């Protein structure tokens, strides 16, 4: 454990942290722009050229608002809630491989903060923790709408985690490892998982919409029924953290979707490049894929209306889970035949 | 040496948060302390190089079961007035019962109380090794427990299935 | 009975086909519609730089007119206050003194004339009620304020200045019934 290694990891952590926050900040801006375009409007265009300084203006506004804690709330938990949300949204980025190794000052730098051999399970662990921020925040506000939001969030997350996990078993079966690097090595070039597992992708995508509380699954904050849902009582930057963590989670889950199904940083024709050129192109390709999914997340949000709660449960338990199980069994059988078990 | 130090600190934290589960005066806080305890236990698993067990502990216990606990507790209207009056003899008997349990545990585990530093060389907690062990040495118990899970699932489905409602 | 318009539709409640139950075709067609809208011409008018053309009947901030010699038309008859459905108009009448003939056209004039712009609904009944062609609604927009008190407009704001007359020719033909 030499100093250079520590510096390398530290700067990588800082870089990933800043990129995640920056991308999240600009996806709030882009979401508003996109909503404008879809509704035949222009969207925010006043702050700076093309409105590009809008996220900064929003941030300043959030910080300068009155920070209010309700009298009968559980103060500590009320403060911790948004923190947990933000933390769980950010921590997933540790295991994302952002690109192939880069050479910096003669050192081979892996663009992954930590390579666990249980990569995917780590994602699940963190995602299952994500609900605590919403639950704690919603409960500690001591407001019935917040509580409704929290309860909806928890039941929704538990339901969709199941389908998500079962659908991913097929990917694990195909790549033969839990680490994200194993999964990436399996889909070099254009040998992407989406071509083998379109159904699995669909299930996973729907579940990740539900897990990030994005429309059409944004029932926990459903403003037409629950005022603001779990963040009804939140003001100032605590509210900002809740809203912001949604965008961070969206960015990270788009990155994970592109790794699991669209080959991450692999692209067809990558064998023609070597060294740092390959690394830079790969990183750009990876970000392009990720932003494409961020775009799709937003596009869906401004197209499809919100589910009713019973429809949500029906979709989760009666459609997605059986489909995922069937998909898993078929994949298992095909792999068994392929490996010559019969 | 540092590993041992970390293990002791982690152990202290685990016991502390586990005590807070019992001592905190609000059930929701108890559950949250229990979640923290699970995290510390996962830390212990990590120290023993059992990453799989650590993460499964977090997913299953902290991520799913405790969320359900929290879910139910939030739906209950837990006011101060609802709490049952704890009688003195109840707490006395609880202390006696818990104390004797502790005594038995100490007596049983007395010989195992030395901290084994070499334990992190053990790779049995990794996915492949664990899978190999489960599907060879412990195949029968593993399959029997899966039957248990299936029966529990069937039971849950039967309970949840709505009877044909008849409208008068 | 025979339908007159042939526009009625028979509502059916037939079960959905398998394709419809998948919902995916419907979802994709919806997504395609929003995608098309992304590239359509935007309807936004960038307000301070561009303004919309007002309709001739637009009813904005009131004006109390003066005649050609610069005398106030208003005679404080109170008909506008009576006509006002929101009860936004109040006034105090006073008698014209000797030597004030160049200020007020009639023998009686409004010493104070106040319109509460928070109450006003811009219906234009006041100008319809006015027998002296004194009050008109113009195409000026009432500016925003930060205090409630500032929304009570007195004569200092309402009466037009002699130098800068406010053109109400569009309203003169539309507001008054029967004049046209």
State pLDDT tens for residues B135-166: 888 888 888 988 998 999 888 888 877 666 56
pLDDT of residue B113 exceeding 60, the answer is: no
- Yes or no, beta carbons of B75 and A157 under 8 Å apart: no
Find out whether A280 and A319 touch, Cβ atoms under 8 Å: no
Query: Which pLDDT score is estimated for B125?
Result: 62
Q: Which of A117, A131, A178 sits opposite B67 (nearest CB)?
A: A131
Share of chain B above pLDDT 90, in %: 4
Q: Mark the ranges of chain C whose per-residue pLDDT is less than 50.
A: 175, 178-180
Q: In terms of DSSP bridges, do strands C108-116 and C152-153 run parallel, antiparallel, or are they unpaired?
A: antiparallel
A147 at interface of B, judged by CB pairs closer than 8 A: yes
- Distance (Å, rounded) from C-alpha A249 to C-alpha A123? 11
Q: How far apart are CA B89 and CA A306, in angstroms?
A: 54
Task: Please give the pLDDT value at position C180.
Answer: 40
Q: How far is A251 from A294, CA to CA, in rounded Å?
A: 6
B9 or B122, which is more confident? B9
* pLDDT score at A92: 85
> Are the C-beta atoms of C134 and C65 separated by less than 8 Å?
yes
Pairwise CA distance, residues B25 & A322, whole Å = 42
- Give residue A262's pLDDT: 86
Q: Exposure string (b/e) for A40-63, b if CB count within 10 Å is 16 or more?
A: ebebbbeeeeebeebbeebeeebe
Q: How many DSSP H helices and E strands does chain A contain? A: 12, 2
Contact A39 C37 (CB under 8 A): yes
Residues 6+ apart with CB under 8 A from C136: C62, C63, C65, C127, C166, C168, C171, C172, C175
Any C CB within 8 A of A117 CB: no
- Interval B24-81: pLDDT, tens: 877 888 888 888 899 888 888 888 777 788 888 888 888 888 888 888 887 776 655 5
Statement: residue B82 has pLDDT above 70? no
pLDDT at B121: 56
pLDDT in tens, A51-109: 888 888 888 888 888 888 888 778 888 888 888 888 888 888 888 888 777 777 777 77
Q: Domain map of chain B by residue range?
A: 2-78+87-167
| Predicted pLDDT of residue B151 | 92
Give pLDDT, residue B79.
59
Residue C16, chain A, CB below 8 Å: the answer is no
Domain borders along chain C are: 62-158
Alpha carbon distances (Å) from A207 to A94, A126, B129: 21, 15, 30
Closest CB to B62 among A116, A129, A135: A129
| B3 has a pLDDT exceeding 80 | no
Mutate to test the interface with B, among A84, A137, A178 (most CBs of B within 10 A): A178
pTM of the model: 0.78
pLDDT at residue A100 in the model = 79
What stretches in chain A show pLDDT beneath 70? 1, 342
Strands across the sheet containing C152-153: C89-95, C108-116, C152-153
Contact: chain C with chain B (3+ CB pairs below 8 Å): no
> What is the token pair recorded at B43?
């830390």
Structure tokens that stand for B97 in this block = 């019962």
Residue to test with chain A: of C26, C35, C38, most A Cβ within 10 A: C38
Fold for the domain defined by C62-158:
Alpha-Beta Plaits (3.30.70)
A39: contact with C, CB 8 A cutoff = yes
Window 281-310 of A: residues touching C by CB (8 A cutoff) are 299-300, 302-304
SS3 B24: coil
Domain ranges in chain A are 3-338
Element (H, E) at B41: helix B27-47
Q: Which of A122, A113, A101 is nearest to A6 (CA)?
A: A113
CATH fold for the domain made of B2-78+87-167? 1.20.120
CB-based contacts of A55, cutoff 8 Å, min separation 6? A25, A26, A28, A29
Closest C-alpha among B51, B59, B58 to residue B125: B51
């Amino acid at each position: 454990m030499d100093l250079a290694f520590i510096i390398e990891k530290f700067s990588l952590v800082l870089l990933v942290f800043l990129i995640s926050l920056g991308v999240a900040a600009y996806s709030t801006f882009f979401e508003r722009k996109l909503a404008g375009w879809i509704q035949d409007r222009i969207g925010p265009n006043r702050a700076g050229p093309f409105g590009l300084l809008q996220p900064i203006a929003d941030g300043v506004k959030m910080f300068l608002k009155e920070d209010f804690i309700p009298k009968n709330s559980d103060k500590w938990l009320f403060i911790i809630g948004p923190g947990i949300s933000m933390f769980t949204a950010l921590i997933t980025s540790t295991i994302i491989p952002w690109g192939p190794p880069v050479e910096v000052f003669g050192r081979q730098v892996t663009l992954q903060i930590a390579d666990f051999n249980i990569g995917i399970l780590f994602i699940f662990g963190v995602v299952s923790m994500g609900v605590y921020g919403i639950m704690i925040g919603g409960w500690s506000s001591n407001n019935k709408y917040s509580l409704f939001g929290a309860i909806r969030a928890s039941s929704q997350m538990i339901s969709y985690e199941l389908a998500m996990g079962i659908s991913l078993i097929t990917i694990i079966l195909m790549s033969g490892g839990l680490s994200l690097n194993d999964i990436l090595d399996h889909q070099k070039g254009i040998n992407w998982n989406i071509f083998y597992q379109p159904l699995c992708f669909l299930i996973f995508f729907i579940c990740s919409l539900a897990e990030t509380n994005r429309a059409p699954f944004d029932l926990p904050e459903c403003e037409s029924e629950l005022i603001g849902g779990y963040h009804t009582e939140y003001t100032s930057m605590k509210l900002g953290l809740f809203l912001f963590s949604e965008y961070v989670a969206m960015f990270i889950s788009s990155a994970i979707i592109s790794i699991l199904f669209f080959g991450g940083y692999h692209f067809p024709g990558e064998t023609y490049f070597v060294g740092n050129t390959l690394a830079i192109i790969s990183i750009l390709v990876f970000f392009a894929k990720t932003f494409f999914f961020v775009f799709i997340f937003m596009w869906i949000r401004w197209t499809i209306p919100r589910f009713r709660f019973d429809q949500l449960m029906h979709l989760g338990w009666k459609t997605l889970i059986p489909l995922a199980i069937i998909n898993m069994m078929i994949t298992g059988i095909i792999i068994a035949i392929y490996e010559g078990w019969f | 040496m540092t590993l041992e130090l970390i293990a002791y600190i982690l152990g202290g934290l685990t016991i502390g948060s586990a005590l807070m589960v019992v001592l905190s005066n609000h059930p929701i806080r108890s559950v949250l302390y229990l979640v923290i305890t699970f995290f510390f236990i996962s830390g212990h698993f990590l120290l023993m190089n059992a990453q799989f067990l650590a993460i499964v502990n977090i997913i299953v216990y902290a991520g799913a079961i405790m969320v359900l606990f929290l879910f139910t507790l939030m739906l209950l209207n837990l006011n101060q007035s609802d709490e049952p009056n704890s009688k003195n003899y109840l707490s006395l008997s609880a202390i006696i019962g818990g104390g004797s349990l502790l005594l038995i545990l100490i007596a049983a585990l007395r010989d195992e109380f030395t901290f084994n530093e070499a334990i992190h060389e053990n790779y049995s907690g990794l996915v492949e090794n664990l899978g190999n062990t489960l599907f060879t040495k412990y195949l029968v118990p593993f399959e029997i427990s899966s039957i248990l899970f299936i029966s529990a699932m069937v039971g849950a489905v039967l309970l949840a299935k709505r009877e044909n409602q008849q409208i008068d | 009975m025979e339908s007159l318009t042939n526009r009625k539709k028979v509502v059916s409640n037939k079960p959905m086909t398998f394709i419809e139950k998948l919902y995916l075709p419907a979802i994709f067609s919806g997504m395609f519609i929003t995608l098309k809208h992304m590239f359509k011409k935007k309807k936004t008018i960038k307000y301070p730089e561009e303004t919309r053309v007002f309709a001739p009947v637009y009813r904005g901030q009131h004006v109390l007119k003066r005649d050609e010699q610069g005398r106030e038309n208003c005679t404080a008859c109170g008909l506008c206050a009576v006509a006002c459905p929101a009860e936004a108009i109040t006034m105090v009448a006073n008698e014209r003194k000797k030597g004030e003939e160049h200020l007020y056209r009639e023998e009686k004039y409004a010493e104070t004339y106040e319109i509460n712009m928070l109450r006003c609904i811009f219906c234009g009944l006041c100008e319809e009620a006015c027998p002296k062609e004194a009050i008109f609604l113009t195409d000026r927009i009432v500016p925003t304020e930060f205090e409630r008190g500032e929304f009570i407009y007195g004569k200092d704001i309402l009466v037009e200045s002699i130098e800068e007359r406010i053109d109400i020719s569009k309203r003169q033909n539309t507001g008054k019934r029967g004049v046209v």
